[in-house]
């Protein structure tokens, strides 16, 4: 059925720890990797290794600096790819949910217009009955 979440979503054993959304394995691994890459201990260790590699050239020969460049470029691509998987999947899920909310909102607005029409009709009927009762009391 178009516009609803796929069946795998309700059967998945992986869940987002914040939202409770069901996740595919790749999305789950993306969130786990983001948790590692976006932690202070990773930043400190990664920065220490990088500055040591650059600050003490005696420990590393010239090709090592070239490999550091390759390594850092690879890490940048890897991190962005992993984070992109999670963000893209979450965006798709959010789009489906937003469309459902839009349908509900359109449905509610139709009902509120209908309720208003019913209220206006009911009010006019009440006024008519009230007028009839006044006339009946006046004739007594």
pLDDT tens by residue, 76-131: 888 888 888 878 777 777 777 888 887 777 766 666 666 666 667 777 778 888 88
* Bridge partner residues of 22 (DSSP): 15
Least confident of 5-9, 61-65, 77-81: 5-9
Q: Please list, residue by residue across 53-77, b when 16 or more beta carbons sit within 10 angstroms of its beta carbon and e when fewer do.
A: beeeeeeeeeeeeeeeeeeeeeeee
Domain ranges of the chain: 7-109
pLDDT of residue 116: 66
d(Cα 34, Cα 80) in Å, to the nearest integer? 10
φ, ψ of residue 22 to 5 degrees: the values are -75, 140
pTM over 0.85: no
**Radius of gyration (C-alpha) of the chain in whole angstroms:** 32
């Amino acid at each position: 059925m178009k516009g609803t979440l796929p069946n795998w979503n309700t059967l998945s054993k992986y869940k987002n720890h914040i939202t409770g959304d069901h996740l595919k394995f790749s999305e789950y691994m993306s969130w786990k990797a983001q948790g590692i890459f976006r932690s202070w201990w990773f930043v400190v260790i990664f920065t220490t290794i990088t500055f040591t590699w650059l600050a003490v050239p005696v420990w590393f020969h010239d090709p090592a600096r070239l490999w550091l460049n390759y390594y850092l470029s690879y890490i940048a691509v890897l991190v962005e790819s992993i984070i992109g998987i999670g963000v893209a999947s979450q965006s798709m899920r959010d789009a489906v949910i937003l469309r459902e909310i839009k349908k509900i909102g359109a449905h509610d607005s139709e009902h509120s217009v209908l309720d208003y029409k019913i209220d206006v009709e009911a009010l006019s009927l009440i006024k008519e009955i009230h007028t009839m009762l006044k006339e009946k009391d006046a004739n007594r």
